């Protein structure tokens, strides 16, 4: 075997997602040995003292910085993960680009389509590959659903249904975090959850061309936290409340470039569904349905007249689907959310090593942000809105 290629990693912001990036980098050598890469955890950046201590004491980083600029200036850092809150994405991403560091960034890639455009165009001008956290793309069942569509097994596509319904903010006692701020998050559930749904729809079916939408905010005030947490947990609240500035719910009608129509819906306050993220694709000769809560299954119906037992077949993830065989030895053994991030990390690293954009790109994130922008605009004026076209190295259409 040849000598392994070394890539020094820097991770900016070590919340839940930053730690998941860290674990994913560690797993690449095991699950994708053909890349021949040795990933070294060089540095982490986080403003919290205790987190920096964990970074070097438990997570395996060589050093930790309070200021991310120091991480970007570290000569041993070759690639960067950006797992900070939305409102910091633009400044950190542009700083990473200026430092010449390929980056893996979480979505949404800013608080507006304008910010996403700036990042995507700057990365392409600098000749840097990127990766964006559209991890649901890498689910083996989704990859197989896309294959069915692209090979014409469902016939001519007619319509699509996508809903991303969750309950993580369903309690009125859930704290008022940055996600409820227009300045820090931009819109609410549209970029937070529905951007995933829109990306999946585009990845499977094609570009969304126009949107008609309604939104609403069902819980208009939330308690202000007295102690901050990580992600959606660990907060403590007091009696003082503040205003929720963006939407809890969105419903959309969409038209695709190829004539397919769709309905998309998302909520962060629904009582009951924990993470009911569903994609259904219908065609003249069949259909397929997937639910993240049963992510290792795909319901498929092929043909229009299968006789007395006509209907859906429930198929389990297997070696014919995506990267499943790298992770599990036998059909019926399940993959999980974290595995999809390992696939994403591997795509990012292969993109860096080859110079070819294989991972979901900054241009893909810009494209999703333009869908978000059209959605918010439509909800404001009640009209259909065209989705602005992006110029860049998108991967959803390849």
Residues 23 and 125 in one domain: yes
Residues 103 and 148 in one domain: no
Residues 306 and 234 in one domain: yes
- pLDDT (mean) for 136-146: 98
Q: Tell me the CATH number at 198.
A: 3.30.360.10
Task: Pick the last residue of a domain from 133, 156, 183.
Answer: 133
Would you say residue 56 lies in a domain?
yes
Residues 56 and 144 in one domain: no
Residues 255 and 159 in one domain: yes
Residue 351 C-beta-side C-alpha neighbours within 13 Å: 25
Residues 97 and 163 in one domain: no
Residues 219 and 328 in one domain: yes
* 3-class state of residue 116 by DSSP: helix
309-356 pLDDT, tens digit per residue, is 889 999 999 999 999 999 999 999 999 999 999 999 999 999 999 999
Interatomic CA distance for residues 248 and 269, integer angstroms: 6
111-137 pLDDT, tens digit per residue, is 999 999 999 999 999 999 999 999 999
Which residue in this structure is represented by tokens 């389990």? 316
- Domains contained in the chain, number: 2
Say how many residues make up the chain.
398
Spatial strand order of the sheet with 261-267 comes to 313-316, 297-302, 286-291, 275-283, 157-166, 261-267, 249-256, 208-216, 385-386
Task: Pick the last residue of a domain from 133, 157, 176.
Answer: 133
User: Over 70: is that where the pLDDT of 72 sits?
Assistant: yes
Would you say residue 345 lies in a domain?
no
Question: 107: domain range?
Answer: 3-133
User: Over 60: is that where the pLDDT of 1 sits?
Assistant: no
pLDDT confidence of 4, banded at 50, 70, 90? Answer: confident
Residues 145 and 180 in one domain: yes
Task: Report CA-CA distances (Å) from 336 to 212, 319, 324, 340.
Answer: 34, 16, 11, 7
Would you say residue 87 lies in a domain?
yes
Nearest to 151 by CA among 278, 279, 371, 300: 300
Residue 230 tokens read as: 């990580």
> Could you give phi then psi for residue 240, rounded to 5 degrees?
-75, 140
Would you say residue 235 lies in a domain?
yes
35-48 pLDDT, tens digit per residue, is 999 999 999 999 99
Would you say residue 343 lies in a domain?
no
Question: Alpha helix locations (H) across 213-303?
Answer: none
Residues 157 and 290 in one domain: yes
Instruction: Name 8's bridge partners.
Output: 40
Nearest to 24 by CA among 9, 3, 5: 9
pLDDT of residue 309: 82
Q: Tell me the CATH number at 73.
A: 3.40.50.720
Residues 261 and 370 in one domain: yes
Would you say residue 128 lies in a domain?
yes
Would you say residue 312 lies in a domain?
yes
Would you say residue 346 lies in a domain?
no
pLDDT confidence of 231, banded at 50, 70, 90? Answer: low
Residue 82 tokens read as: 């950006």
Task: Pick the last residue of a domain from 109, 133, 157.
Answer: 133
Residues 140 and 87 in one domain: no
Residues 124 and 147 in one domain: no
pLDDT, averaged across the chain? 95
Nearest to 116 by CA among 378, 386, 371: 371
- pLDDT (mean) for 97-104: 98
Nearest to 245 by CA among 162, 151, 178, 310: 178
User: Over 70: is that where the pLDDT of 84 sits?
Assistant: yes
Q: 102, exposed or middle or buried, with CB in 10 Å at 0-12, 13-18, 19+?
A: buried
């Amino acid at each position: 075997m040849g000598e392994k290629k070394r890539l020094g990693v820097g991770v900016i912001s070590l919340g839940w997602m930053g730690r998941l990036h860290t674990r994913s980098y560690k797993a690449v050598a095991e699950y994708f040995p053909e890349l021949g890469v040795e990933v070294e955890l060089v540095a982490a950046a986080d403003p919290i003292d205790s987190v920096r201590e964990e970074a070097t004491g438990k997570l395996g980083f060589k050093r930790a910085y309070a200021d991310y600029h120091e991480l970007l200036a570290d000569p041993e850092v070759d690639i960067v993960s950006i797992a900070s809150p939305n409102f910091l994405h633009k400044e950190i991403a542009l700083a990473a680009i200026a430092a010449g560091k390929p980056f893996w960034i979480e979505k949404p890639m800013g608080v507006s389509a304008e910010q996403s455009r700036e990042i995507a165009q700057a990365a392409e001008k600098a000749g840097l590959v990127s990766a964006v956290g559209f991890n649901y793309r890498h689910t083996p069942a989704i990859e197989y659903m896309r294959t069915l569509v692209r090979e014409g097994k469902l016939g001519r596509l007619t319509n699509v249904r996508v809903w991303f319904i969750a309950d993580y903010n369903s309690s009125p006692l859930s704290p008022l975090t940055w996600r409820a701020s227009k300045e820090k998050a931009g819109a609410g559930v549209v970029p937070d959850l529905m951007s995933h749904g829109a990306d999946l729809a585009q990845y499977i079916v094609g570009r969304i061309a126009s949107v008609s939408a309604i939104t609403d905010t069902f819980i208009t005030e939330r308690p202000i936290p007295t102690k901050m947490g990580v992600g959606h947990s660990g907060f403590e609240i007091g009696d003082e409340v503040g205003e929720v500035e963006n939407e809890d719910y969105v419903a959309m009608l969409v038209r695709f470039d190829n004539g397919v129509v769709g309905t998309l819906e998302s909520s962060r306050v629904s009582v009951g569904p924990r993470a009911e993220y569903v994609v259904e694709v219908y065609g003249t000769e069949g259909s397929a349905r997937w639910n993240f809560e049963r992510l290792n299954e795909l319901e498929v119906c092929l043909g229009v007249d299968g006789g007395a037992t006509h209907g859906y077949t429930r198929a389990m993830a297997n070696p014919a689907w995506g990267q499943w065989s790298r992770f599990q030895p036998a059909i019926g053994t399940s993959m999980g959310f974290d595995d999809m991030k390992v696939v994403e990390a591997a795509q990012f690293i292969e993109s860096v090593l080859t110079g070819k954009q294989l991972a979901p790109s900054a241009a893909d994130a810009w494209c999703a942000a333009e869908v978000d922008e059209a959605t918010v605009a439509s909800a404001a004026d009640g009209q259909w809105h065209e989705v602005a076209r992006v110029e860049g190295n998108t991967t959803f259409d390849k």
